[in-house]
Structures are given as structure tokens and as C-alpha cells.
Structure 1
Amino acid sequence: MLQPQSLQKGDTVGVIAPASPPDMKRLYQAIPFLENLGLRVKLGKHIENVHGYLAGTDAERLADFHDMIQDDTVKAIIFARGGYGTGRIASNIDFDLIKKNPKIIWGYSDITYLHTAICQKAGLVTFHGPMVASDVADPDFDDISSASFQQLFEPTTLTYSEDISPLETLVEGKATGELVGGNLALLVSTLGTDFEIHTKGKLLLLEDIHEQPYRIDSMLNQLKLAGKLEQAAGIIIGDFADAKPKHEPSLSLEEIFTHYLGGLSCPVMAGFKIGHCFPHFAVPFGVEATLSTEKKSLVINPGVQ
């Protein structure tokens, strides 16, 4: 896996919206945070465009992405928000261009599709972390989420322990493998495509938001039937925000996770504040990590060089 170069004070970062349109007021409110990190900000040409539920047409969003990739002055791409739409541009991404211009790519949620595609097609480490308009501008944006950006400035081994949040063991064990995954709905949407998530021997992170328990059940069932769960070396259950049933009766999330993950032969641990939550602990994808239920920890190798 290619590791992008770390950021230096004075570097320029590009901000684009490859999925849904951002709230521009919130985006401009968040830019000072990046500037206070010592960074300059360059906005995509089409970031203010709106095309239905998309931030511009597929061609416009793809153009902004390619422009930032090939711009030598831009050292990192930090997405404005998720929503929906990255899967629509994945098949037209120039992955050779990414290989020739490896740089930091940072976001989550709908960006999961890009993480998976880029990691598998370009072999580049990417970052699952808070986005500019949807997270940095949020009044609840906290110190842990803010500190996550520091891993971009120097190679940093990350350790997630119960100092951050309580962790629950579903299956005991220890496993080391490449960290992959992200948003459950987006991972399921890759199945049967050229970008189908690879989980064999890997640590699989799962998170989501606004999904009812029966929907989470359905998506885990699809991953199970596709062989993706049993192939994994370990499962990391991130945050499942607002996963409330609209109709009763319902299975609980704990019952669902136990049903699909409790019988696996690999370690499974839940409670990680990774996802649509605060704090939001940012992690690199495509690097080696170790999950230990005995130590109740997730240790992740640096994402930058």
C-alpha cells in the first residue's frame, strides 16, 4: 500500500463535495479550523453546485476530484460532506492518476465507496475522519475529533482503548490485519461490482447512521451470505447512530450483532466511537492494525510517511 506524504505547515488542502451538496455557510465557518492547523484551503470549482441531491453533475464532481489529485500544490483532499453520490463516479475515476499523485484523502460516510475503490484499485492508504461542513462546523465537534487531524502531520501509531469509550467483547481473541471498511450501507452497495469490498484476512470496521434495526439485520445478512464476515480476521463495530426502530416489536442492535457476529471464529469488539458521532476517532484505511479483546484495544499503524 502507498502511504501519502505527511502535511507540513503552509501546505494547501483541497475541499470538494463528491456526493451531496454541503451547507456553504457551515463550510465557511469550518475553514478557520483548517487554517489554524497551518493549512491553506482551496475549494473545488463546482463545490457550490447543486444537481438535485447531488453537489453538481457526475462530470462536475469527478472533475473537481481529478483536478485536486493532479494539482501539485494540493497535498491533501478533505471532503466537505457525504450524503449520496460517490458510487456514481467510481467507475470513471482515473486510478492511475491517483497512483502517480498519491496524497491524503480524508472523509467518511458516503466516502466509504471511494475508500474501498481507491484502496483496492490504486493501493493508496486513505483516511476515515470528520468532514469539513458536516462535522468540523458542528457545535459538538470536540477535542478528540480535532486531535485526529494531527496524524496527518507526522507518522503516528494510533491506540484506541477504553480511555476513549467503553468497549464490549462479542468474541474473544487477537488479530492483526489490514484495516478496511466504513459505512455498512455503502459496503453492501459494493457487492457484485468491480469495487466489491475485500475482507479476507482483514480487520473490518462497520458503522452507520439512521438505519433501523431490521435494515442493519438485512445488510449484515447480505455480508454474511457473500462470505465477507467469515473471511475477516476481526470485526470492529463502530457507532450506529440513531438506529431506532420506527415500529415495535423489534430486535435490539445487541441481538442483531450477536446473531451475525457472535459465532464468528475471529475477535469481535463493539463500542468504538468511529462514525457519525462525537468524539469521532479518525483512522487510516489500508494499514496494518491489531485488535485485542484481552487488552481491549485497537492499535493502528501510521497512515502517512
Structure 2
Amino acid sequence: MNRKHFLSSFIAAATILPAFKTLANTVENENSSFKTPPYLKPGDTIGVTSPAGYITLEQVQPSILQMQSWGFNIKIGDTIGKRDFTYGGNDEERLIDFQKMLDDPNIKAIMCARGGYGFVRIIDQLDFSSFKRNPKWIIGFSDITVLHCHLVKNYGIASIHSKMCNSFPDDWSKAEPIQIETILSIKNALIGEQMGYTAPININNRIGKTDGILVGGNLSIIETLAGSNSDLDTKNKILFIEDTGEYLYSIDRMLWNLKRTDKLKDLKGLIVGGFKVKPDDAGEEFGKTVYEIVMEKVKEYNYPIAFDFPVGHQRNNFALKCGVNHTLIVNETGTVLRTV
């Protein structure tokens, strides 16, 4: 895919329904059993932890300063700066640190410092009993897709799929507009602003309009969770997928898995974000594009499909609220996705 053709922005306020915020009690989304954690207000605390890959305190410092400028307090977890080969500390250290964040009533949101690999190694040992009683926003993407899927499957609690600490610019004054816009989308999601994005028309899009709970994340993570206690429930949902560093044949195989496990069958809509594809090996050309691979798997279904959406391992990776009702509109002028 040519990501130079991505075009994304917040929907103008006049075109979006007024924001509905809850600052005190957990609420249920309209027409769903999903719970939305309380939105943040100035003075609330965000915990920063690394349940997957290794990251230093110096590397998370720009994100800490930026979130503090938004009026939030920051609590740095014990895993920041710890290292066990590729991980942010060993399994026990990462488990204990994340559990503390889940259980601490003074922490209103948890920002995962980076992705990489490792969350699946601790997910089944986490105790979510306190979190269920007092939900809080959990933020991250890539490997953190494990947690987004787990929350959908087991608790119906909303979370935020977005950039993490390692994506904040070192110097805000020199940051590109797209960096600023995507980082600010995290703040807007946390404080309960109405979320809305557009993407340009793509000839492979399937036109339509639908409403539904938004779920999804990294395609390879979603596939590997099949049959587990974190298996993603996609029925009557709007699904979004993205991935990076995969061969075309691997993307084809993963999408066959989603099709064969009926994850593509009863969708309300499908959103395809960024896919950074590995070049085929010489003599092993796959012969299909990402567009063709996707459309082959969904040709018998009738829901709207949007390609080139601004989510994924790329600069234009905007914050999306998993487990929240959205409206998806795909028409002759492009794509609109907004929270209901």
C-alpha cells in the first residue's frame, strides 16, 4: 500500500454529535453491554508501565512531560528501565507491575510504554477482579492487542488502541503536524471528546453505512489468540485490522484463519489500516495485493469495507476506542468513522 495517499483528520465539530462525557461512574454504551471507564479530568493519574518490550526512563520522558502538560499526574512503573533480554523485566516483574496498576484506585488510566512482545506471557495470571469493579482506560497497540481482545472477550470493558510512550516526539515544537494530531487524539480519547476520522476514497472500498461496537488491532495477534481465553468476539462488531513486517502469503494465511473461525462472517463493517508488507522473496512472488487478499475473504458478505484507514504501525496512527459504539460511513467521497 502507498501510505502517501493516507489522508486523515478529526471530523469538524459541526458534523459530529455533541460529546457525552462521564467523569464519575462507569456507564454502559447505548445498545450494548460494554462498559466505558470514567473519563479523565485534570489532576488524575496515569500509570506508565511496560508489560511487553524493554524501554528506558529516558525514552519515556517526552511522553511523561507531554501528559503532564495536559494536566495529568504520572506514576512510573517499576518495569520502566528494567530489562530481561527483549522484555521490560522478567515475566514476574512485568506481571507484578501491571497488577499494581490495575489495583491502584488512584490510577485512572494505564499507558503501556511500548509494544514488542510479552503480554501474552502474563495475561492469564492477571487478576481483573478489582479492575472489573473500577475500570480504567488502558492504552496501547501492537502487542497490547492481546489485552484489547481479552477485555472484549471476558469483561466487555472499553480500552484505547493508540500510540504509546515510544511514539511521542522528543521535541514537541519540532514535531510534524501528523505526530501532534495523533498524540493529541490520545488526550481527546481520555477526556471523552467525540472522536471522528476520515480516510480518502479507495477504489476497493465497499460502500455502506453501519453502527456497531468497534474492536480489533494487530492482525497477527488476533489470529494467534484464536481458541484461547482471549479469543476476539467479532459478531455484530465493526472490526479494524493492521499489521507490519509480514509477507503477503502470511497476511493471506491469517485472514483465512479469521474467515474459517467465522470472525469475518457476521461483522457490521471492516476497516483495514496500514499494512507494511515485506517484499516477496525472488521466485516466491505471491501474486496478490493486500486489497485482493482481503476482498477474496469477504466477497460473499455485504457489510461496508474501508481501506487505507489511519491506524497501524505508521505515523498516522490515531487513537481508537475499542468497545465503544461507532458509526462507519463508506461512500463515494471516502470514509468516516466517528463515535456515537
Given that residues 78 and 105 in structure 1 are in contact (C-alpha distance below 8 angstroms), is that contact kept between their aligned partners in structure 2?
A: yes
1:261, CA displacement in angstroms? 3.0
Given that residues 102 and 128 in structure 2 are in contact (C-alpha distance below 8 angstroms), is that contact kept between their aligned partners in structure 1?
A: no
The 2-side partners of 1:49 and 1:278 are apart by: 27
Corresponding position of 2:105: 72
The 1-side partners of 2:279 and 2:300 are apart by: 24
Corresponding position of 1:237: 272
Q: Which is further off, 239-248 or 204-213? A: 239-248
State whether structure 2 residue 123 is matched by structure 1 residue 90.
yes
The 1-side partners of 2:126 and 2:334 are apart by: 38
Corresponding position of 1:7: 40
State whether structure 2 residue 210 is matched by structure 1 residue 175.
yes
- Structure 1 residue runs of 5 or longer lacking an equivalent are none
The 1-side partners of 2:198 and 2:179 are apart by: 18
1:110-121 → structure 2 map (5 Å cutoff): 110-121=143-154
1:183, CA displacement in angstroms? 0.3
1:193, CA displacement in angstroms? 0.8
Q: TM-score, length-normalised on structure 1? A: 0.91
Pick from 191, 203, 208 the counterpart of residue 238 of structure 2: 203
Corresponding position of 1:297: 335
The 2-side partners of 1:281 and 1:261 are apart by: 25
Opposite residue 257 of structure 2, the aligned amino acid is: Q
The Cα offsets for residues 87-133 of structure 1, whole Å up to 9 and x where unpaired, read as 11111121222112211111000000001102322221100011002
Given that residues 247 and 279 in structure 2 are in contact (C-alpha distance below 8 angstroms), is that contact kept between their aligned partners in structure 1?
A: yes
Q: Which is further off, 195-204 or 135-144? A: 135-144
Percent identity of the aligned residues? 32
1:213-232 → structure 2 map (5 Å cutoff): 213-232=248-267
Opposite residue 127 of structure 1, the aligned amino acid is: I
The 1-side partners of 2:274 and 2:137 are apart by: 24
1:242, CA displacement in angstroms? 4.3
State whether structure 2 residue 168 is matched by structure 1 residue 136.
yes
- SS of corresponding position for 1:171: coil
Pick from 136, 139, 144 the counterpart of residue 106 of structure 1: 139
Given that residues 96 and 122 in structure 1 are in contact (C-alpha distance below 8 angstroms), is that contact kept between their aligned partners in structure 2?
A: no
The 2-side partners of 1:264 and 1:12 are apart by: 44
1:153, CA displacement in angstroms? 4.7
1:151, CA displacement in angstroms? 2.0
- SS of corresponding position for 2:65: helix
Corresponding position of 1:25: 58
Opposite residue 157 of structure 2, the aligned amino acid is: L
1:184-199 → structure 2 map (5 Å cutoff): 184-199=219-234
Given that residues 170 and 262 in structure 1 are in contact (C-alpha distance below 8 angstroms), is that contact kept between their aligned partners in structure 2?
A: no
- Structure 2 residue runs of 5 or longer lacking an equivalent are 1-33
Root mean square deviation, CA, Å? 2.0
Distance 1:233 1:153, change over 3 A: closer
Corresponding position of 1:269: 306
Given that residues 69 and 101 in structure 1 are in contact (C-alpha distance below 8 angstroms), is that contact kept between their aligned partners in structure 2?
A: no
Q: Which is further off, 256-265 or 103-112? A: 256-265
- SS of corresponding position for 1:118: helix
Aligned length: 299
Q: Which is further off, 215-224 or 169-178? A: 169-178
Q: Which is further off, 94-103 or 21-30? A: 21-30
1:267, CA displacement in angstroms? 1.2
1:167, CA displacement in angstroms? 4.6
Opposite residue 221 of structure 2, the aligned amino acid is: L
1:26, CA displacement in angstroms? 1.9
The 2-side partners of 1:96 and 1:115 are apart by: 17
1:27-66 → structure 2 map (5 Å cutoff): 27-66=60-99
The 2-side partners of 1:169 and 1:93 are apart by: 41
1:62, CA displacement in angstroms? 1.4
Given that residues 168 and 271 in structure 1 are in contact (C-alpha distance below 8 angstroms), is that contact kept between their aligned partners in structure 2?
A: no
The Cα offsets for residues 225-265 of structure 1, whole Å up to 9 and x where unpaired, read as 11111121211001112443344523222221222234422
Distance 1:14 1:25, change over 3 A: same
The 2-side partners of 1:119 and 1:215 are apart by: 25
The Cα offsets for residues 137-183 of structure 1, whole Å up to 9 and x where unpaired, read as 47666122122023245322222224xx5555532222211100100
Given that residues 189 and 321 in structure 2 are in contact (C-alpha distance below 8 angstroms), is that contact kept between their aligned partners in structure 1?
A: no
